[in-house]
């Protein structure tokens, strides 16, 4: 299968999509952006390949095996969870190895034995946690190793310290030092090896639920996927790990991506981790005007992340909490840091958490409105993309404020909205090849 790849290296997450020769999305991958952009791009791409092969498996099971829907879905969800579990354990064993090597340093001469014992206990704790976490029914706060392993690490470390073991700071310091090399290394096992291992983790009943399942899995793993061209985009583009002629501005990628998802798109709003983009596109998805936030990231995804941290809840919990709001609270601060202070002040003044959080959502949308106005306003249809488009309270506020200012709106949000930039990039890759533009290089 011919594959065209688009990678969107965002400030918070890196997204990759694989398009087939007809431009259909066949795989999606996402990972946290890390200190090494090259690895982040590789990991996202590998995730997208994995996803594409699982999609392939899903099609075969549906079209060629005659297994009923419920059983098929159960098999798929177990296999997906087991695969993720395998990947997690691979990273965990590398983390353990790094922690142990780290302790060879002479500065740990006095308490090495104790620390090594703690590492053992912590790793065991994380493994047990993972066993629960990677059940098909489990819902996780995050899909990223750093977050899952980090949370479990901290829990076990706190327990060890409370029980008279090494100091909490010392234990957590181990995680902070060693997570970086782990994140900057890649999985060495092939898809086929990981899939075989995941198969081994399936309950017996599921393993035999489909006749010839091992052969099907092998066929999926062996299907050739030929990478024709990769185009990359993203915020930190000064250092993007792609050849120059394989890079497109994220403005163009988001504009085109939004057009492909909703062909009648005229205005695009993208709210990502650190930047907000207001883009106007023509009927072919070509950008005609754009504005971005400058110098200050208030009003971007990080603003919400900061507030979630202040409240000690997950980012995904913020939107649903705000949806419960009954009373409008006006937040005055447009600065992230001041908004944190304002949040605490208002809590102290007796206002409800959900009302304040809802006010914060409205505040970031108001900032976006100013950018939209500068770019030429909102025209129908209006497509909202980026991580914040997944937040129901932000969407509600955008619709309200948008309609107050521009009248009735057709507001589009794709389930794949986080991949908008990557889809645009992948499509540029296809178009470049078709037009014979750019070097046919093996991308990063």
Site for another protein (CB under 8 A): which residue of 69, 238, 330, 407?
238
Site for another protein (CB under 8 A): which residue of 180, 292, 313, 433?
292
Site for another protein (CB under 8 A): which residue of 14, 291, 325, 420?
291
- 405 contacts another protein (rule: CB under 8 A): no
Q: Which is nearer to another protein, 211 or 437 (CB)?
A: 437
- 28 contacts another protein (rule: CB under 8 A): no
- 50 contacts another protein (rule: CB under 8 A): no
- 439 contacts another protein (rule: CB under 8 A): no
Q: Which is nearer to another protein, 271 or 329 (CB)?
A: 271
Interface segment toward another protein; rule CB under 8 A; list 49-57, 242-250, 311-319, 398-406: 242-250
- 370 contacts another protein (rule: CB under 8 A): no
Smallest gap from residue 27 Cβ to another protein (A): 26
- 249 contacts another protein (rule: CB under 8 A): yes
Q: Which helix (H) or strand (E) holds 30?
A: strand 25-32
Smallest gap from residue 234 Cβ to another protein (A): 10
Smallest gap from residue 235 Cβ to another protein (A): 8
Range 69-108, binding another protein (CB under 8 A): none
- 348 contacts another protein (rule: CB under 8 A): no
- 37 contacts another protein (rule: CB under 8 A): no
d(CA 228, CA 79): 29
Beta bridge partners of residue 271, listed in sequence order? 276
d(CA 379, CA 397): 17
Residue that the structure tokens 């159960």 belong to? 74
Q: Could you tell me the sign of the dihedral formed by the alpha carbons of 335, 337, 340, 341, in that order?
A: negative
CA distances from 103 to 115, 116, 166, 174 (A): 8, 8, 13, 9
Beta carbons of 364 and 394 less than 8 angstroms apart: yes
Q: How many CB atoms lie within 10 A of CB 260?
A: 19
d(CA 290, CA 277): 7
- 243 contacts another protein (rule: CB under 8 A): no
Length of the chain: 444
d(CA 398, CA 114): 54
Q: Is 111 exposed, middle or buried (0-12, 13-18, 19+ CB in 10 A)?
A: middle
Calculated CA dihedral for residues 427, 428, 429, 430, nearest 10 degrees: 60
Show the site string, 258-287: x = touches another protein by CB under 8 A, - = not. --------------------------x-xx
Strands (E), 368-412: 382-385, 411-412
- 186 contacts another protein (rule: CB under 8 A): no
- 412 contacts another protein (rule: CB under 8 A): no
- 161 contacts another protein (rule: CB under 8 A): no
- 404 contacts another protein (rule: CB under 8 A): no
Beta bridge partners of residue 247, listed in sequence order? 232
Smallest gap from residue 2 Cβ to another protein (A): 23
Q: Could you tell me the sign of the dihedral formed by the alpha carbons of 260, 258, 4, 25, in that order?
A: negative
Q: Is 343 exposed, middle or buried (0-12, 13-18, 19+ CB in 10 A)?
A: buried
Site for another protein (CB under 8 A): which residue of 183, 250, 342, 354?
250
Smallest gap from residue 439 Cβ to another protein (A): 17
- 218 contacts another protein (rule: CB under 8 A): no
Size of the site for another protein (CB under 8 A): 21
Range 372-401, binding another protein (CB under 8 A): 374, 376
- 294 contacts another protein (rule: CB under 8 A): yes
Smallest gap from residue 348 Cβ to another protein (A): 30
d(CA 5, CA 42): 11
Q: How many CB atoms lie within 10 A of CB 249?
A: 16
Q: Which is nearer to another protein, 58 or 249 (CB)?
A: 249
Smallest gap from residue 424 Cβ to another protein (A): 11
The footprint of another protein (CB under 8 A) covers: 235-238, 248-252, 284, 286-292, 294-295, 374, 376
């Amino acid at each position: 299968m011919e594959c065209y790849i688009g990678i969107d290296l965002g400030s918070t997450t890196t997204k990759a999509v694989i398009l087939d020769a007809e431009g259909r999305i066949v795989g999606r991958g996402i990972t946290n952006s890390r200190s090494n952009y090259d690895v982040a791009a590789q990991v996202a791409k590998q995730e997208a390949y994995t996803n594409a092969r699982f999609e392939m498996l899903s099609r075969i099971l549906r079209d060629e095996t005659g297994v009923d829907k419920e059983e098929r879905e159960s098999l798929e969800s177990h296999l997906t969870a087991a695969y993720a579990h395998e990947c997690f354990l691979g990273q965990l064993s590398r983390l353990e190895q790094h922690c142990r090597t780290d302790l060879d340093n002479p500065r740990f001469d006095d308490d090495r034995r104790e620390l090594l014992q703690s590492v053992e206990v912590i790793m065991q704790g994380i493994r047990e946690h993972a066993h629960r976490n990677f059940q098909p029914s489990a819902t996780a706060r995050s899909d990223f190793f750093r977050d899952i392993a980090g949370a479990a690490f901290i829990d076990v470390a706190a327990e060890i310290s409370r029980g008279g073991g090494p100091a909490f700071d010392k234990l957590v310091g181990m995680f902070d030092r060693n997570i970086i090399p782990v994140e900057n290394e890649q999985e060495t096992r092939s898809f086929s090896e990981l899939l075989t291992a995941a198969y081994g983790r399936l309950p017996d009943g599921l393993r035999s639920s489909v006749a010839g399942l091992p052969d099907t899995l092998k066929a999926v793993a062996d299907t050739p996927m030929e990478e024709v061209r990769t185009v990359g985009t993203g915020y930190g583009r000064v250092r993007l790990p792609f050849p120059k002629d394989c890079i497109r501005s994220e403005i163009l990628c988001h504009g085109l991506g939004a057009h492909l998802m909703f062909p009648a798109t005229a205005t695009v709003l993208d709210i990502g981790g650190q930047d907000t983009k207001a883009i106007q596109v023509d009927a072919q998805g070509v950008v005609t005007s754009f504005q971005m936030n400058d110098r200050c990231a208030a009003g971007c995804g990080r603003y919400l992340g900061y507030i979630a941290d202040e409240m000690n809840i997950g980012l995904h919990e913020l939107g649903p909490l705000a949806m419960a709001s009954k009373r409008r609270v006006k937040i005055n601060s447009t600065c992230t840091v001041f908004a944190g202070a304002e949040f605490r002040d208002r809590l102290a003044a007796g206002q409800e958490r959900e009302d304040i959080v809802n006010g914060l959502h409205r505040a970031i949308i108001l900032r976006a409105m100013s950018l939209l106005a500068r770019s030429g306003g909102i025209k129908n249809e209006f497509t909202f993309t980026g991580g914040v488009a997944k937040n129901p309270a932000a969407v509600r506020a955008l619709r309200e404020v948008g309609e107050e200012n521009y009248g009735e709106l057709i507001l589009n949000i794709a389930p794949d909205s986080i991949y908008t930039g990557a889809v645009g990039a992948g499509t540029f890759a296809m178009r470049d090849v078709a037009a014979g533009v750019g070097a046919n290089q093996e991308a990063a």
